[in-house]
Structure 1
Amino acid sequence: MTVDVMTRLRDFYAAEAAYLTEGAEFEQMAAHLAPDVVMYQASSLPYGGEWHGHEGFRRFIAAMGDNWDGLWFDEQQFVSDRDRVVVYSRGRLRARRTGRTLETSLLQWISFRDGLITEFRPYYHDTSAVLAALTE
């Protein structure tokens, strides 16, 4: 049975939110990720680089949590085909160390294989604004 990519993505987002805000098990989120998933982040960010596999994704989420203690989406739009989804997100993040809130947007290119997420490629509107919010 083929899993619809939008259903998979929405289920992943729900599991991610439960992990970040309710302390749900990482495995609930990982169930939506291919074993060889890759998260790509802009190298200029404190959590930049490539994060490989479930363990890499776990470390990425921890690095994000070290930098941000709040994330709210005010708008999301989705465009999908069989194996890819592009997500436009507009929202706010609150920096853990500075307490600053950043209002920003980003696009994510998310790829799937066999109904599982294989890669995330976020494109930030302004990485310098992200860094400014994180810098004391």
Structure 2
Amino acid sequence: MTADVMSTLRAFYASEAAYLTDGSGFEETARHLAPDVVMRQASSLPYGGDWHGHDGFRRFLAAMRESWDGLWFDEQHFLDDEASVVVYSRGRLRARRTGRILETSLLQWISFRDGLITEFRPYYHDTSAVLAALTEGPSAAQPPSAD
């Protein structure tokens, strides 16, 4: 992996986390994305589907921000093959409506062109845990206390 691609990817993840956690602007995130970027999310998620271009990516992040108000990466590992990177991420998200903390992991297949990100294909460890963290009632993501 070139140093430029790695720098782009790390800067993207930092700007994504800042957007979800601190409400930072989209401009910092967009500078790492190709104009024709595509985000492909699992259809079962509230922000599922394919999101195209900068406008689509902005709408995707807005939908994510409606669901989550915090994102923290605890561990990341990267594998590359020149035009794409596979990223294993383990981290935490805080659900905006329920306040639940979801500890989870996912793999992402990320494609690049000319040093910019062109496509994301995330593969979640457990989408049902993601959905449970976002809804009221008992959750597999955060068991009720024994009080």
Give the C-alpha shift of residue 69 in structure 1: 1.0
Q: Which residue of 2 is the match for residue 63 of structure 1?
A: 63
Q: Which residue of 2 is the match for residue 25 of structure 1?
A: 25
| 8 A contact 1:33–1:116 mirrored in 2 | yes
Q: Given the two structures, how large is their TM-score scaled by the length of structure 2?
A: 0.85
Instruction: Report the Cα distance in structure 2 between the residues aligned to 1:89 and 1:6, rounded to whole angstroms.
Output: 15
Instruction: Report the Cα distance in structure 2 between the residues aligned to 1:117 and 1:34, rounded to whole angstroms.
Output: 6
Q: Do the aligned partners of residues 23 and 94 (structure 1) sit closer, same or farther apart at CA in structure 2, a change above 3 Å counting? A: closer
5+ residue gaps, structure 1, are: none
Q: Secondary structure of the residue that 2:73 maps to in structure 1?
A: strand
| 8 A contact 1:5–1:84 mirrored in 2 | no
Give the C-alpha shift of residue 80 in structure 1: 1.4
| 8 A contact 1:73–1:91 mirrored in 2 | yes
Number of residue pairs matched? 135
Aligned structure 1 segments of 4 or more residues deviating by more than 3 angstroms: 17-25
Q: Secondary structure of the residue that 1:4 maps to in structure 2?
A: helix
Instruction: Report the Cα distance in structure 1 between the residues aligned to 2:3 and 2:57, rounded to whole angstroms.
Output: 22
The structure whose RCO (Cα within 8 Å, separation 6+) is larger is 1
Identify the range of structure 1 (47-56 vs 67-76) with the bigger mean alpha-carbon deviation. Answer: 67-76
Q: Which residue of 2 is the match for residue 73 of structure 1?
A: 73
| Aligned residues with identical type, % of pairs | 81
Q: Which residue of 1 is the match for residue 121 of structure 2?
A: 121
Q: Secondary structure of the residue that 1:44 maps to in structure 2?
A: coil
Q: CA RMSD in A?
A: 1.6
| 8 A contact 2:17–2:72 mirrored in 1 | no
Instruction: Report the Cα distance in structure 1 between the residues aligned to 2:124 and 2:106, rounded to whole angstroms.
Output: 4
**Larger of the two Rg values belongs to structure:** 2
5+ residue gaps, structure 2, are: 137-147
Instruction: Report the Cα distance in structure 2 between the residues aligned to 1:78 and 1:48, rounded to whole angstroms.
Output: 24
Q: Which residue of 2 is the match for residue 105 of structure 1?
A: 105
